[in-house]
Amino acid sequence: MTVEGLIKEKIRQEGRVISDDILKVDSFLNHQIDPLLMLEIGKEFAHRFGGEGVTKVLTVEASGIAVALMTGLSLKVPVVFAKKKQPSTMGTDTYCGQVRSFTREEVIEIVVAGSYLGPTDRVLVIDDFLASGEAARGLLKIIEQAGATLVGFGTVIEKVFQSGGDFLREKGIRVESLVRIGSLAGGQIEFID
């Protein structure tokens, strides 16, 4: 079975539609982690972006870390995650962006230490979900501040009915979504092939 098929099967078996906008997959993706599935996902992203000269994988804590880590492992490059709170040990040489959390209904400042991203880096952004694109916007700001090159954006699940994927594609950014969902209306998950 393909990685896409494995993810769809997990969603069918364990996913729960909370509303027309929210799909809960915390039993395998973003609370409890299925490490074997994450490894396969990481290998798939490494396969798709392997020829891009990626030097860093970038994500936002916390839900994207497992997927990003397995992608970094498969690509043999470091993984950097934007922190949601700047620790006192980080110093002042930082790159910052803002993310509006749809599920938490708040704006969060995300931050990366300046020593971990720079102009010579070719960055692959990896996340668990692509919905409205808020996390992507915050990470794009950080990449821009670092002077790094974005090679693409990989996401496990894209909710196509929200605008994040369109926003990235309109900017000419390569987006690789392993599973695309067209609708959650009426509690039904509609996959797009």
SS3 per-residue string spanning 72-116: HHHHCCCEEEEECCCCCCCCCCEEEEEEEECCCCEEEEEEEEHHH
Give yes or no for residue 6 having a pLDDT over 90: yes
Average pLDDT, the chain: 92
Q: Domain segments of the chain: what residues?
A: 3-192
Residues 155 and 178: beta-carbon distance below 8 Å: yes
**Could you report the per-residue pLDDT of 137-179, keeping only the tens digit for each?**
999 999 999 999 999 999 999 999 998 999 999 999 999 999 9
Give the model's pLDDT for residue 27.
85
Reported confidence tier of residue 90, pLDDT bands at 50, 70, 90 = low
Reported confidence tier of residue 99, pLDDT bands at 50, 70, 90 = confident
Q: Determine the Cα–Cα distance for residues 68 and 70; give it in Å rounded to an integer.
A: 6
Contacts of 151 (CB under 8 A, 6+ apart): 49, 52, 53, 54, 122, 123, 124, 174
Give the model's pLDDT for residue 89.
61
Give yes or no for residue 88 having a pLDDT over 70: no
Beta-bridged to residue 149, according to DSSP, are: 122
**Residue type at position 98:** Q
What is the CATH topology of the domain spanning 3-192?
A: Rossmann fold (3.40.50)
Give the model's pLDDT for residue 87.
61
Give the model's pLDDT for residue 141.
95
Q: Please indicate whether residue 48 or residue 31 has the higher confidence score (pLDDT).
A: 48
- Beta strands of 13-76 (E only): which ranges? 16-17, 23-24, 56-60
**Cα dihedral sign for 152, 156, 161, 162?**
negative
Reported confidence tier of residue 93, pLDDT bands at 50, 70, 90 = confident
**Could you report the per-residue pLDDT of 101-141, keeping only the tens digit for each?**
766 678 888 999 989 999 999 999 999 999 989 999 999 99
